[in-house]
Structure 1
């Protein structure tokens, strides 16, 4: 994977290079992932658009987040398409800090998987907004050039959509898990940005805990994918049951996997 050292984002990377089970790799400059894009500088925009060929942004934030933050710098670029697909229920004060999404509905969330609250939250994305999860993968498959998926922290909502996309096209489980956990190495920068934001700081204060509380851990993604296997028969079966069939998967694979 290649980190994108942006001036206005803390958790941006290209997932190109991840290995597939058939000996191929994910293409570079095909799928990018990041945290909040509101602070991008002109230099960042040039890197993403001119150098990496970014043409599509998939925004997984809630409507409340999008409205509170306002348009970011990439909104001014005519060649970049923006697709908003929240994976949280559109009610309440919900942000990527997950305070409301997880804790005001704590009993329901924890009932999904009591042993790991974050895994429980991720399973909720699949149960609460399957149409938007599928829509995100379809947008990735249909993008003619580089596509960037982001939320606020770039680790939970983005981590789940990235993991589903990579698993669907055959990336090895250990590589999917490692890509998810890589966000944990950037947690200090991620949390500093969120704590400086009027949109996210209140959620973080309610939730409490230090940076380590929010760190992405390998076992969480491994558990999530295992639960998808047990509950739904695997990622491909879950996708197929929600309208993303073999032809869609083939298009996603053609988009993401480098030629042999």
Structure 2
């Protein structure tokens, strides 16, 4: 992927970050705000979203809070109505909110083998990691179409790569987390399909692996900070006109599906 194809300023842009009140989402929100975007902090916990928004506003950034449980159709519809009322369009959507239920953290093999995975673990994981970003994107797409340069980033994982899942030499091979891994593989497939649909529009959509991050999900043994991971996401949220769409990336590296 060519370098240098990101915009240096996001002034005048409106960006929604789901799961934006903590961890990776918070770092993404901070970096987008620093680039000048008006950032909407989407979170299930309204008080946490408001606290984060207040903190960033005190630093001089344009930030607002939005109650958004991404698994709730009512919240998704309310998000559309509020963004439409307040801004009239959406320039950037970061589908960041997600869960890991298969194991205590991202560096630990799944508690149960795929043949023994609990149905509620698989279903709940897909609800948050796949169905929620799909249905939120569908709901907000009319607002994104009003943008002159809409950008959608699906926060995925290298554990959604079938190439890595099937490679005994890959560091993710021993994890075997049926719920998380397959939900991210499905999210990658959605990225491919909707990017193809939108290819003749100004909208660009990509799946991004932020790295193995030191967050509550990633665990303390991870080799990257949430701030580092946010750089990878923000890079694709701020793509210039010549940037890629329908890809799977980690920073400048194109990952195998």
- The TM-score by the shorter chain falls in which range? 0.3 to 0.5
More strand as a share of residues? 2
More helix as a share of residues? 1
TM-score normalised over the length of structure 2 = 0.34
Structure with bigger RCO (C-alpha 8 Å, 6+ apart): 1
TM-score normalised over the length of structure 1 = 0.33
